[in-house]
Amino acid sequence: MTSDRASDSFIGQLPKAELHLHIEGTLEPQMMLDLAARNDVTLPYKTADDVTRAYEFENLQDFLDLYYAGMSVLMQERDFHDLTWAYLQKAAADGVRHAEIFFDPQGHTDRGVNFETALDGIWGALEAGRRELGISSKLIMCFLRHLSEDSAFETLVAAKRHKDRIFGVGLDSSELGHPPEKFARVFAEARAAGFTAVAHAGEEGPIDYVKGALDILKVARIDHGNRALDDADLVARLVRERIPLTMCPLSNLRLKVIPTLAESPVKRALDAGLLVTINSDDPAYFGGYINANYRGIEEALGLGRAELTTLANNSFTGSFLGESEKQVHLDRIAQYAAAQT
């Protein structure tokens, strides 16, 4: 008889979507060094181990400081292509069949890299991923919330020229001190232009930031959303409106949002009926891609196959795929789970 407790083999090729993935956060230490050498960029590290030793974060800002330093090696279109292709190969090995990927153009344009250089490199790899790996994708451009709304407007102007490739807009970077209302006007213009809106909220920020993302930015999805679990009325609303939460367990652990994986809100979110999903956020910095996140919470929270199957179902239900496309993936999950029993 097979135990309800999931095995590594069950998680391994369980079909899943990844909805919260910063492509710049997949920059592995060795690639960082290789691209630095390719582009004649000086880093304060000699070896990949030197880079890894820097990955001790006390909070979100500690991580962001290193994250933006790492971006400095991304200079050419092929750098962005290589970065994205490396992620897609890892994702395919983890059973990912659809990915909705964030990128941070301001992190590149502010250091003299053209918007199109980043976009063309990422997009070329995503197209190759569709053809060669069978991974569909959507690209979401994030505004950096520590920068001004005027800067976000400039980025939106550039994005409008590429509406055929950029599906949505998001909001990331330093959360505390940068509430959703700071970006009310640019999100309104982005939605009017046809971009779907999402936003990071409730990772380190308060419950009001989650509410503001919903009511002011009018987002279709909340990225992270941990703090939402502290407000029963908000939980009821999220359940009622079927607003997905894209949670990132290993990210929360490494950034000390939670003290241990056993404190992850994923199980409470599932039990509350929330449309919670599991994602890797910035996996090169946080110690694991999507299956490492599934395995981490499976062990820490004692999740069984039924709950992990629900999380996989949620990943497609909470995606921006069309309903018929979602159903294809949901059917595949059902077939996979049945074959594993």
5 has a pLDDT exceeding 50: no
Residue 221: per-residue pLDDT? 98
3 has a pLDDT exceeding 80: no
Residues 6+ apart with CB under 8 A from 333: 14, 15, 309, 312, 313, 316
Residue 341: per-residue pLDDT? 75
Q: Which of 24, 28, 203, 298 is catalytic?
A: 203
Structure tokens at 162: 């590429």
DSSP state, 229? G
- Taking each helix axis from N to C terminus, what angle separates 290-301 and 305-317, rounded to the nearest 10 degrees? 140
Q: What is the pTM of this model?
A: 0.95
The answer to whether the Cα torsion of 138, 143, 145, 149 is positive or negative is: negative
Give per-residue pLDDT as tens, 131-180.
999 999 999 999 999 999 999 999 999 999 999 999 999 999 999 999 99
What confidence category does residue 1 fall into, taking pLDDT thresholds of 50, 70 and 90?
very low
- Residue for token pair 């509406």: 163
190 has a pLDDT exceeding 70: yes
State the Cα–Cα distance between residues 228 and 233, nearest whole angstrom.
9
State the Cα–Cα distance between residues 316 and 277, nearest whole angstrom.
9
- Residue 203 annotated among the catalytic residues of the structure: yes
State the Cα–Cα distance between residues 265 and 246, nearest whole angstrom.
12
State the Cα–Cα distance between residues 103 and 8, nearest whole angstrom.
30
3-class state of residue 196 by DSSP:
strand
Residue 8: per-residue pLDDT? 67
Residues paired with 141 in a beta bridge = 103, 169
Residues paired with 224 in a beta bridge = 201
Q: Which domains does the chain have, with CATH numbers?
A: 8-340 (3.20.20.140)
198 has a pLDDT exceeding 80: yes
Q: Which of 37-46, 149-158, 176-185, 314-323 has the lowest mean pLDDT?
A: 37-46
Long-range contact set of residues 262-265: C-beta below 8 Å, sequence gap at least 24: 262/300, 262/301, 264/297, 264/300, 264/301, 265/226, 265/229
Residues 228/199, Cβ–Cβ less than 8 Å: no
6 has a pLDDT exceeding 80: no
What confidence category does residue 63 fall into, taking pLDDT thresholds of 50, 70 and 90?
confident
284 has a pLDDT exceeding 70: yes
How far CA 144 is from CA of 121, 153, 179, 196, 198, in Å, comes to: 20, 11, 12, 17, 13
Residues 6+ apart with CB under 8 A from 272: 229, 235, 239
DSSP state, 133? I
What confidence category does residue 223 fall into, taking pLDDT thresholds of 50, 70 and 90?
very high
